[in-house]
Amino acid sequence: MEIGIETVLGIVTGIGLSAACGFRIFVPLLIMNLAVLYGRLHPAPGFEWIGSHYATIAFGTATGLEVLAYYIPWLDNILDAIASPVSIIAGTITAASVITDMPPSMKWMVAIIAGGGMAGIIQGATAALRGKSSLFTGGLGNPLVSTLELTGAVFIALLAIIIPLICLVLVVAFAVFVIYRAIRNHFQKMKIA
SS (H, E, C) the chain: CCCCHHHHHHHHHHHHHHHHHHHCCHHHHHHHHHHHHCCCCCCCCCCHHHHCHHHHHHHHHHHHHHHHHCCCHHHHHHHHHHHHHHHHHHHHHHHHHHCCCCCHHHHHHHHHHHHHHHHHHHHHHHHHHHHHHHHHHCCCCHHHHHHHHHHHHHHHHHHHHHCHHHHHHHHHHHHHHHHHHHHHHHHHHHHHC
- Give tens-digit pLDDT for 48-72: 999 999 999 999 999 999 999 888 8
* Whole-number pLDDT of residue 70: 85
Q: Per-residue pLDDT averaged across 135-141, rounded?
A: 82
Q: Per-residue pLDDT averaged across 123-133, rounded?
A: 85
* Whole-number pLDDT of residue 178: 87
* Whole-number pLDDT of residue 132: 85
pTM listed for this prediction: 0.90
* Whole-number pLDDT of residue 10: 93
**Summary mean pLDDT of the chain:** 91
Res. 130 pLDDT band, cuts 50 70 90: confident
- Give tens-digit pLDDT for 160-173: 999 999 999 999 99
Q: Per-residue pLDDT averaged across 98-114, rounded?
A: 94
